[in-house]
Amino acid sequence: MAKRGYTRDTIRGGASDWDVSRPFSSYLRMLGGLVAHPVRFFEVLPRVPDVRAPALFLVFSGLLATALWFLFGGLYPALAALLVPLPLSLPVAGLYHLGSIGGRYGYLVTWRTVAYPFGFYLPLSAVPVARWVAAVYAGAVLLGVGLATVREIGVARAALASVTITALLVLAAYLLVAR
């Protein structure tokens, strides 16, 4: 028997995977889980190389970010928020994968680990002051917990990798914005 909310035509996911049959409630549930209980969120994150649910989560987050960027920044930032998140998540996940080299699972599982905090950050990136705080929280805290839990590397190593890579990404973004 299928779980409630799933049919044969929907994506089946784990307890912390995004449920595409209920996008809004699942999105809010996932954000609440990421903020309130990140360790538990990543403990139940499926360690499978299936990219459908996280990719759709990023697209959905990109749609929300597009609406907010249109309000706060105009048309061109809104178009960037619509088109850039999913392709950008791939090299960003590559950096975090290199930072956690020697972990238990491969690149696609690392990408799944990066996709959900990145999707958490996307709508907040449009809010002027909150964007930098959300970037540091998603990149350093959430991804540090995610790398330690999912990739099964040491906490100190995961923290060092996530803080270093996040600092480099935030510095690069700041320099692009300051131009």
pLDDT tens profile 116-148: 999 999 999 999 889 889 999 999 999 999 999
pTM recorded for the entire structure: 0.84
Residues found in the chain:
179
User: What pLDDT score was predicted for residue 32?
Assistant: 87
What CA–CA distance (Å, rounded) separates 57 from 51? 10
Round the average pLDDT of the chain to a whole number and report it: 87
Mean pLDDT, range 9-30, rounded to an integer: 68
Question: What percent of the residues of the chain are helix, what percent strand, and what percent coil, each to the nearest 5?
Answer: 70, 0, 30
User: What pLDDT score was predicted for residue 176?
Assistant: 86
pLDDT in tens, 39-62: 999 998 888 888 888 898 899 999
**17 class by beta-carbon count within 10 Å (0-12 exposed, 13-18 middle, 19+ buried):** buried
